[in-house]
């Protein structure tokens, strides 16, 4: 599988910002990239984003509810995201885990809902600074993988150290390599040969200036990009670094 570069717009983006997507679609039409590009805008823009990207890049949701439908005011089901044009959905982002109290079992239920709807979940995991300082990175990642992953391999995983998100700080390349190696080993133990198709993205302060070196680390199968995905030029530079 080729690398996946996913842009996570978080709670950013109004209709006017869709112009960034025209620039992405035009550039990828003129010169296709080796990596697969994905934009995860706020749900209000999903359908319009899919249209503007013209299939040159995919679109994905930022979370989905574990249930298919029902009395859950304000929530969105995986079927709704799919209906709006999504092919992927991020589940278990650390901001959801922290802001909305989503624990591993909840994240797993959301990933399973995504799979039932025909979406490919990108399951996000990552240690806090305290866990890192306590030397518990691998232990924490394995714990999150065991609790958050669905029982099917049609997924991708995003390793995002919580302390690296939006801070401009990143782990050393050796630390990224160590985390990805541990994740890949756990995936192989869990899914056998099917694990080969699971991409493990790195996320946390990925920028045009550091993307190439991070994407070259063994076991890194792409990137989950927050802030730098909001500008077409930066996002494209990262897509082309893969
Ligand atoms: P960042 O966010 O690139 O702005 O650090 C990454 C993410 O939260 O997915």
- Ligand 1 contact via 206 beta carbon (within 6 Å): yes
Is 65 noted as a catalytic residue in this protein?
no
For ligand 1, what atom is nearest to the CA of residue 94? 8
Protein residue closest via CA to atom 2 of ligand 1: 226
pTM greater than 0.95: yes
For ligand 1, what atom is nearest to the CA of residue 166? 5
Protein residue closest via CA to atom 6 of ligand 1: 226
> How far is ligand 1, taken at its centre, from the CA of residue 192, in Å?
30
Task: State residue 1's pLDDT score.
Answer: 78
* Mutational pocket test of ligand 1: of 225, 229, 230, 241, the residue with most ligand atoms within 8 Å of the beta carbon: 225
High-pLDDT (> 90) share of the chain, %: 100
pLDDT digit string (tens) for the chain, length 242 residues: 799 999 999 999 999 999 999 999 999 999 999 999 999 999 999 999 999 999 999 999 999 999 999 999 999 999 999 999 999 999 999 999 999 999 999 999 999 999 999 999 999 999 999 999 999 999 999 999 999 999 999 999 999 999 999 999 999 999 999 999 999 999 999 999 999 999 999 999 999 999 999 999 999 999 999 999 999 999 999 999 99
- Ligand 1 contact via 165 beta carbon (within 6 Å): yes
Tell me: the pLDDT tens digits for 129-139?
999 999 999 99
Task: State residue 226's pLDDT score.
Answer: 98
Sequence-distant (≥ 6) Cβ neighbours of residue 155 within 8 angstroms: 111, 115, 120, 121, 122, 123, 149, 198
């Amino acid at each position: 599988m080729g690398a996946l570069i996913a842009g996570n717009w978080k709670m950013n983006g109004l209709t006017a910002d869709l112009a960034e997507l025209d620039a992405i679609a035009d550039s990828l039409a003129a010169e296709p990239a080796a990596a697969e590009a994905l934009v995860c805008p706020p749900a209000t823009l999903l359908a319009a984003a899919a249209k503007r990207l013209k299939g040159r890049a995919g679109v994905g949701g930022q979370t989905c509810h574990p249930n298919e439908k029902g009395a859950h005011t304000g929530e969105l089901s995986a079927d709704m995201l799919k209906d709006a044009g999504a092919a992927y959905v991020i589940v278990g982002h650390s901001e959801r885990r922290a802001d909305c109290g989503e624990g591993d079992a909840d994240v797993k239920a959301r990933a399973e809902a995504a799979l039932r709807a025909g979406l490919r979940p990108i399951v996000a995991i990552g240690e806090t600074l305290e866990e890192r300082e306590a030397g518990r990175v691998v232990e924490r990642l394995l714990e999150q993988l065991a609790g958050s992953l669905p029982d099917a391999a049609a997924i991708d995983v995003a390793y995002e150290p919580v302390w690296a998100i939006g801070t401009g700080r990143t782990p050393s390349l050796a630390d990224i390599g160590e985390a990805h190696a541990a994740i890949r080993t756990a995936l192989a133990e869990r899914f056998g040969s099917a694990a080969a198709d699971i991409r493990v993205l790195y996320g946390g302060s990925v920028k045009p200036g550091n993307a190439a070196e991070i994407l070259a680390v063994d076991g890194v199968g792409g990137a989950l990009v927050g802030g730098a995905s909001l500008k077409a030029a930066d996002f494209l530079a990262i897509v082309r670094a893969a």
